[in-house]
Amino acid sequence: MWVLRCGYPAKGMTVIGVTGTDGKTTTCTLIYEILKAAGIKVGLVTTVGAYIGDEETDTGLHVTNPGPELLQPLLKRMKEAGIIHVVLEVTSHGLDQNRVVGCNFKIGILTNITHEHLDYHKSMEVYREVKARLFHSTQYSVLNKDDDSYEYIKSKCGGQVISYEKTKLVEISPALGGDHNKYNIAAAVEVAKIFEVDNGVVSKVIRDYKGVKGRREEIEEGQNFRVIVDFAHTPNALEQTLKSLKAEKTQKTQRLIVVFGCPGKRDKSKRPLMGQAAIKYADRVIVTADDPRNEDLGEIFKQINVNAERIDDRREAIKSALKEAKAGDIVLLAGKGHEKSLAVGDKEIPWSDQETAKEILGVIK
């Protein structure tokens, strides 16, 4: 067992776990930056990577919660480096598959529970129950009072429950735009209170926050329209991101263009919901490949079930969106975010929405 092989590193550490369907990485990173700014030696493990001091470690492709064979050695290295506070992104798969056994979570945070992973969990009830496992023995449970799962999760908490609602802060970094990020901020603020971090430190971090790779990441190559890469890969995340971007348009003539797809061999029931979110808010919708694996793109498109353009090649889809964009438009490249590969067939093909967009902008601008 990796926990014992590594000497049970979480023993004596303060481990903070963040779970939820959307917003985990941003909330984790905000907490990490706040604690670091307060002078606390802290480590971070998220979808994007693991951070031990100034060292960054990749946690794998298409993975949020690394398995114990990677996670426990990471915790051991943190402890050896004098880091005894860790912020850890926790998924339902990680909880269900015992990837986080031995992590001794002191604080658990829930962002929300929305439609996702039903190919694995089969129902929202099971998905919710698995999420609740994080809170059975935590000393503090920080819960989103506005989320539909609030009362259920609260009933499963073993320690003190701390509720939060959408923040009313007005000085917020552009990287934290949208109502959904106001909840992520509020969760991080409540954790800061547990550690008695000075309000001025918290406010400065939120105001100066630079963002996470692939989360509302702006691509700027001198073009006169906005290009944003976002990991939004669930119905709620896509809707919230599009909704917030639509609100940021300053003129009626400006358009919101979205490029997105749905992964193959994964939750099929979310596909029409993502399609509905796209056509509800975007002026132009392009459906393309997003980790199709061995599933036919035509079938995926059919299940997304919207009257949208279909451009199977993701590079060509992005190119089409960027070539058509005019001054003041907003182009959202959704679904891949920080990821570095496309799963096509049985292969992982090197890929980056950011680099692809930069290459195309360099040619067309």
Domain ranges of the chain: 2-208, 217-364
pTM: predicted TM-score of the whole model, two decimal places:
0.90
φ, ψ at 69 (rounded to 5°): -70, -20
Q: What is the pLDDT of residues 269-282, one digit of tens each?
A: 999 999 999 999 99
Q: State the amino acid at position 217 in one-letter form.
A: E
What is the secondary structure of 85-112 as a DSSP string?
A: EEEEE--HHHHHTTTTTT--EEEEEE--
Q: What is the pLDDT of residues 296-350, one digit of tens each?
A: 999 999 999 999 999 999 999 999 999 999 999 999 999 999 999 999 999 999 9
Q: How many CB atoms lie within 10 A of CB 302?
A: 12
Q: Judge whether 2-208 and 217-364 match in fold.
A: no
Average pLDDT over residues 283-301: 96
Burial (CB count within 10 angstroms: exposed 0-12, middle 13-18, buried 19+), residue 39: exposed
- Candidates 3.40.50.300, 3.40.1190.10, 3.30.590.10, 3.40.50.1220; CATH matching 2-208: 3.40.1190.10
pLDDT at position 58 over 80: no
Q: What is the pLDDT of residues 26-53, one digit of tens each?
A: 999 999 999 999 999 999 999 888 999 8
Q: How many CB atoms lie within 10 A of CB 16?
A: 28
Binned at pLDDT 50, 70 and 90, residue 63 comes out as low
pLDDT at position 79 over 60: yes
Q: What is the mean pLDDT of the chain?
A: 93
pLDDT at position 141 over 60: yes
| Cα 138 from Cα 343, distance rounded (Å) | 36
CATH placement of domain 217-364: 3.90.190.20
